[in-house]
Structure 1
């Protein structure tokens, strides 16, 4: 089953002169990790807001077409129903906090969807182990570091056990160490949890490492949507759309061109480096 199906979606913000999306179509398979990339103002956040139901249920504008989540139209779902299907983490975790402790913050998200009290305790324990928050349960979220705050925001979403988790630029406000912590949690989510994960992110190298599929947006249009290894084959297209292609991938394709090799390059860094080393050693011997 597809987790998300978008059919002929058109959307214009109330104060905008033109439609951002016009007859946009997209299908996202269940239980995949999808990376969404693109330049600023390309429509990435608007797209995930449509999947979450923020558009059209909160944002005001002109909405045509349909967005379905597990075959249910998002515009017809109430807040509780959407929260049980789709969880969303924003770039600024402070914007999501409403309580005075980490434990209360996670519990609050569960109370909102009617999870029984005994089950709430079990889920808090489970999700804090997953996100390494066991020592912070009594701390006020506002007093934590940026990386810790984002882990709390992720934990509060995961505790509800939605079928889809969206993260909209979750590392954009973090220092390098905190970025790595968040990406490690994303890796665990991918490997250990049966969820569809959609991540809007500027760190293309990490997206290449984690994603099963990658989607490129520009000017409200889907420019490319492919399995990750196929996605990075057209380096010129990515550059034309304002993206910085990971240097390791670009070097490997340059070597493929130089040696007349016609195949798809790997996208994981360790595999890329092994392939580069193999090619250089092979052609030095020749």
Structure 2
């Protein structure tokens, strides 16, 4: 069973002329880490909103095609069922807060899904640890830093243990340290390997090191869906569609163009990969000083 299966999805928001999604079809396997990139206002958030079921359940418009998550048809599934299947973290964490303290926020979703007291205690301990929230449980979620708010939002969704987790630009409103902490959480979740993770994100430097596959959304369509290394192996195509590549990948492309890397060599995604590809050649081609 696929984690996500989309067939010829089209969507037009109410009171607009153009379709925001245009014939999107894609398949995502279970327990994969998927990165979604593309310019702003090109359909990324609309796509993940359709996967979550916010479209069409909570947003009006014209809907064609089909979206299935773990075999369930999103369009017809009850909202409570979708909440158990799919966790969704918004770019603005405050938009999903409902409680007066961080602990109450983490517990709220579990109570709605009917978790027992013992299950709630166990899950609360786990998400508090993984999201580094031990010192914040008694604080208001509205009175903490932006990075802390985002970690609370992620933890509140994780507490419900959804098999599919979607994060829509989770680092867009926080500082560099906060971004690193968010990616640390995502790295831990990937290592556990028991859920499908879909992340809309502009920070390709760290995303490329975690994602198993990447998707480029442009003008309401999926232009490219490929394993991460293959996806970033054509920086020119990505640049033409306003998508950045990791700096080390861009450097690798320049070195390949200059003949330092064979044309068939995949471009590096990390500094270690770049050194492995180029380092020995640099050493042998550089004459030691006399």
TM interval, short-chain normalised: over 0.9
Aligned to 2:57: 57
Instruction: With the length of structure 1 as denominator, give the TM-score of the two structures.
Output: 0.96
Contact 2:89/2:157 (CA < 8 Å) preserved in 1?
A: yes
More helix by share: 1
Task: Tell me what 2:243 maps to.
Answer: 243
Q: After superposition, where does 1:187-202 map in structure 2 within 5 Å?
A: 187-202=187-202
Correspondence 1:275 to 2:282: no
SS at match of 1:198: strand
My pick for the range that moved more, 243-252 or 67-76, is 243-252
Query: 1:191-246, CA deviations, whole angstroms, 9 ceiling, x for partnerless residues?
Result: 12411000000011111111000111110011111100111111111010012222
| Corresponding pairs, count | 285
Which deviates the most, 112-121 or 254-263? 254-263
Instruction: Show the 5 A alignment for 1:213-252.
Output: 213-252=213-252
How far off its partner does 1:126 sit? 1.1
Match of 2:163 in 1: 163
Query: Structure 1 regions of 5+ residues with no counterpart?
Result: none
Q: Which residue is 1:85 aligned to?
A: 85
Aligned 8 A contact 1:183 1:206 in 2: yes
SS of aligned partner of 2:242: coil
**Distance of 1:114 and 1:281 partners within structure 2:** 62
Asked if structure 2 preserves the Cα contact closer than 8 Å seen for 1:209 and 1:269, the reply is no
Tell me by how many angstroms 1:274 deviates. Answer: 3.8
Hey, which bits of structure 1, 4+ residues long, moved more than 3 A? 282-285
Aligned to 1:17: 17
Q: Distance in 1 between matches of 2:104 and 2:193?
A: 23
Residue 132 of structure 1: how far off its partner (Å): 1.0
Q: Secondary structure at the match of 1:45?
A: helix
8 Å Cα contact 1:91/1:170 also seen in 2: yes
Superposition TM-score, scaled by structure 2 size: 0.95
CA RMSD of aligned residues (A): 1.3
Matches within 5 A, 1:101-180: 101-180=101-180
**Which residue in 2 is equivalent to 1:184?**
184
* Cα distance between partner residues in 1 of 2:281 and 2:179: 32
Deviation at 1:149, TM superposition (A): 0.8
Change (3 A) 1:88 1:269: farther
CA contact (8 A) 1:84 1:113 kept: yes
**In structure 2, C-alpha distance between the alignment counterparts of 1:151 and 1:2, rounded to whole Å:** 28
Assess if the C-alpha contact under 8 Å between 1:131 and 1:185 holds in 2. yes
For 2:49 and 2:284, locate their aligned partners in 1 and report how far apart those are by CA, in whole Å. Answer: 49
Measure how far apart 1:147 and its partner are.
Answer: 0.9
Write out aligned runs for 1:93-104 (5 A).
93-104=93-104
Following TM superposition, by how much is the alpha carbon of 1:131 offset from its aligned partner in structure 2, in angstroms? 1.0
